[in-house]
Amino acid sequence: MKKTLIIIKREYLSRVKKRSFIIMTILGPILMASLMIVPFFISKWGEEVKKVDVVDETGIYYGHLASNKSVQFNYVMSDINTAKADLLKSDSYCLLYIPKPSLTKPNYALLFYSSKQPGISVTSYIEEKMEYVLENKTLHDQFGLDKKDLDAAKTNINLQMENVQTGENSSPELTTFIGLFAGILIYFSIFMFGSQVMRGVIEEKTSRIIEVIVSSVKPFQLLMGKIIGIALVGLTQFLLWIVLTLGIVTVFQASVATSVSNPKHDKTVQQDFPVQKNTLFPENAQPQTHKSDDSDMMNSVMSSVSHYDFVAIILMFLFFFIFGYLLYGALFAAIGSAVDNEADTQQFMLPITIPLILAFVMSQSIINNPQGPLAFWFSIIPLTSPIVMMIRLPFGVPVFDMVLSMGLLVLGFLGATWLAAKIYRTGILMYGKKISYKEIWKWLKY
């Protein structure tokens, strides 16, 4: 046991002192916190108000095109040629021309003038609002319904999810994101740290230093020391990621709350453009505008996040990460001991990586039915349970399923380590020979 602890210490310290470990430990929390912070800033950067001049010869749309925080409609009373000339001199983004229908062109032929290529969001918004106005006019003319009748007939559905046992609300979208994020993190972590085990074994084998080591340490002690040492490296990095990420998000949330509560930092994205009195068209209504709050998105995300038991999720993540890595780490170490260089590992990597890839590929089906038989079986099979169980966990997993999955994963780790040790003790001293599955089967029977 003492020799195993020495190997664990050596593997741990040699890796945490590397520059790559320090860089990834700093970049990891920044990248994870950015997933919640960046969308907030992107929404603020997209708040540039684009002024759209409108020449409406039909009189149908005058005053009825609803503006928002990004698009403001300004109705122009001049003719189209004058409006086009004024467009180049003004700060308007574009000019929307709605000519009167004629006998040759009975349909509405809209023209869009701009000195630059407009974004698809602007053109889509204009089309949407024009279709809305035209549909309302058609309903009014043909069926006698006005906007008040249409608004009264509208019903907003707000579907809220509540757990019948705990009474807590949750968001299906956020639940899906948390499950997928945890599953993907375990998926890449197993590959990353498992490959480190394999490369470390290959390096020691090719440098012949392993011959000196096994003279004083049993192969099984060396195998366990290397696997556990690298596992502690990964665990250290994950704990630092969690602490630093929570710190960054907490500081950002506090700064946003302070800026929102301070009137000096309150910002209104609405900009009012003067609308000339209508003397050409029969209708005269002021364009509709909408206000937006910069903190709505962030507050909504934080409110939904608070309903989840992240302590339980983090603890279960650590368990499935540790034992999932230990299981696959033993298998990766066995592969490394059986070959002389990394190029020869490809034929042996496929059987090991297929369960991981399959669990990742089936994630969409598991999300659609997290309590179904497919999700159940994939979450208790040790080779797929680390990923699938983390995807299922935010949706709620029965205690029996959880205990069964954890127990089988521990047994799977012990069985994989026993098999890997039989391969490791023979293959670690085997040089200059192309290893096949038949040869490995002989090692297992020794």
User: Across 53-62, 268-277, 284-293, 433-442, which has the greatest mean pLDDT?
Assistant: 53-62
In this predicted structure, the answer to whether residue 266 has a pLDDT above a threshold of 50 is: no
Average pLDDT over residues 159-183: 68
| Alpha helix segments (H runs only) across 214-345 | 219-261, 296-305, 310-338
How high is the pLDDT of residue 274?
A: 39
Which fold would CATH assign to domain 49-153? D-Maltodextrin-Binding Protein; domain 2 (3.40.190)
How high is the pLDDT of residue 291?
A: 43
Range(s) for CATH 3.40.190.10 in the chain? 49-153
Backbone angles phi, psi at 111, to 5 degrees: -125, 140
Average pLDDT, the chain: 75
In this predicted structure, the answer to whether residue 404 has a pLDDT above a threshold of 90 is: yes
Average pLDDT over residues 74-78: 85
Average pLDDT over residues 193-197: 82
Average pLDDT over residues 229-244: 83
Model confidence band, residue 275 (pLDDT cutoffs 50, 70, 90):
very low
**What does the CA dihedral 279, 280, 284, 290 come to, rounded to 10 degrees?**
-110
Contact yes or no for 51/126 (Cβ under 8 A): no
How high is the pLDDT of residue 257?
A: 66
pLDDT digits (tens, 9 = 90+) for 89-145: 887 888 888 887 655 554 556 777 776 677 777 788 888 888 888 777 777 776 666
Q: Give the whole-number percent of the chain exceeding pLDDT 90.
A: 5
How high is the pLDDT of residue 267?
A: 41
How high is the pLDDT of residue 360?
A: 83
Question: What Rg value do the Cα atoms of the chain yield, rounded?
Answer: 32
Average pLDDT over residues 53-59: 84
Q: Give the whole-number percent of the chain exceeding pLDDT 70.
A: 73
Considering only residues 403 and 59, tell me which one the structure prediction assigns the higher pLDDT: 403
The length of the chain, given as a count of residues: 446
Structure tokens at 327: 């299981």
How high is the pLDDT of residue 124?
A: 83
CA distance 313 to 389: 11
Average pLDDT over residues 7-17: 83
CA distance 267 to 294: 8
Cα-Cα-Cα-Cα dihedral sign, residues 36, 40, 41, 43: positive
Q: How are beta strands 94-98 and 50-56 bridged, if at all?
A: parallel
